[in-house]
Amino acid sequence: MNDLRKIERDVTMNSTKITARDVNVHYGDTHAIKDVKVDIADRTVTAFIGPSGCGKSTFLRCLNRMNDTIDICRVEGTIELDGQDIYRKSIDPVQLRAQIGMVFQKPNPFPKSIYDNIAYGPRIHGLAKSKGELDEIVERALRRGAIWEEVKDRLNDPGTGLSGGQQQRLCIARAVATEPEVLLMDEPCSALDPIATAQVEELIEELRREYSVVIVTHSMQQAARVSQKTAFFHLGHLVEFNDTEQIFTNPTDSRTEAYITGRIG
């Protein structure tokens, strides 16, 4: 008999969304990422885990060229989105970041109204032709962010007035407003309480239907709960990349085993 829950986990393994090959990152003299090779699937949640300083956030930031903003940072190797090199000259990083959205550790709404927080991206990218169209985009994004019901009557209130969990869902809604293809999340729940965390995790499961989601998390339980694929980073190396279930029940590499069972820091 087939296990339904297992099938639910296995729906994925769609086409590859992001391909990274021989990626090396240096911060000045520090070699932060060493020869990383990974394929990130579409409509799948991929978790990056590893101890602090292992390079998981650095690598995540390579995926939408956030490291461009750091002067001493040098990225080598190839990273392709749907077969297109994202580091080639003709790519506009701002446009790229609309395609590959990002949510950060601390909720960082703009000091504007809830409505304007969401409308900001679509406005600068010219996604709406009229006020009516923009209203629709805002509503759709807030619904996808699972926060519409809570804010629909106060869209003109400041986004900073929401609770931490609501702010984070607002930021996720803001990230999806520009119709991205990939969502990067850098410890999106570390500043949230367990209830808000559960709501964001539920939202991640929803988002997976439409996007490729990559999440960096320090909570191994969270990685186990939300992801289908897990990558373990250690000292700048991608040590092991496999099905989440495999990583947490029977990892191949002894370093992965030592980390997930709490034997190395």
Partner 1 sequence: MIEKHIVTSFDHDLESIQASMMKLGGQVEEALANAAKALQTRDEELAQQVREGDRLIDDLDQSIKTDAARLLALRSPTAVDLRTVLSVMEISSNLERCGDYAKNIAKRSLAMAPAREINGSLSALRRMSRFVEAMIRDSLDAYIQRDVVKAQEIIERDVEADQIYNTLFRSLLTHMMEDHRNIAVGMHLHFIAKNIERVGDHATGIAEQTIYLVTGKLPEEDRPKQDRTSLELQESDV
Residues that bind partner 1 (CB under 8 A): 220-221, 224, 248-251, 254, 257-258, 260-265
> What residue type is assigned to position 157 of the chain?
D
Report the nearest approach of partner 1 to the CB of residue 203 (Å).
Answer: 23
Beta-sheet pairing, 84-85 with 237-243 = unpaired
Which tokens sit at 215?
């999440």
Report the nearest approach of partner 1 to the CB of residue 183 (Å).
Answer: 26
Cβ neighbour number for residue 71 with a 10 Å cutoff: 8
Report the nearest approach of partner 1 to the CB of residue 162 (Å).
Answer: 31
Which of 84/261 has CB closer to partner 1?
261
Which of 139/257 has CB closer to partner 1?
257
Which of 115/232 has CB closer to partner 1?
232
DSSP-based helix, strand, coil % in the chain, nearest 5: 40, 25, 35
Beta-sheet pairing, 30-41 with 16-27 = antiparallel
> What residue type is assigned to position 107 of the chain?
P
Which of 182/226 has CB closer to partner 1?
226
Residue bearing tokens 């980390």: 259
Report the nearest approach of partner 1 to the CB of residue 59 (Å).
Answer: 23
